[in-house]
Amino acid sequence: MRTANSKNTKKKYNLNIELMGETKCDEDFASLIEISKKLNIPYHTISDVYEDRRQSFKRFNECPYFPKISITKISKC
């Protein structure tokens, strides 16, 4: 059990942002909250993107100026 206010440091999620065919971000994070803080996007939106529930992002997939954001869980070795 972790103590109160302790932070998880093990990297669990990979964030990949692609804009116009160029990778803008390919980083690993310990939590979805860290990703939401980095992108300045609400946590519930990041959670929806991770769970593939964010349909509003999908309708812009063909637009070249809209970033493609994908969040994947890093598999255990």
Average pLDDT of the segment spanning 5-12: 79
> Is residue 4 very low, low, confident or very high in pLDDT (cuts 50, 70, 90)?
low
φ/ψ of 44, rounded to 5, equals -65, -30
pTM (2 decimals)? Answer: 0.79
pLDDT tens-digit profile of 19-64?
A: 888 999 999 999 999 999 999 999 998 988 888 886 766 677 777 7
pLDDT of residue 48: 86
pLDDT of residue 38: 93
Distance of CA 16 to the CA centre of its chain: 7
User: At residue 70, does pLDDT exceed 70?
Assistant: yes
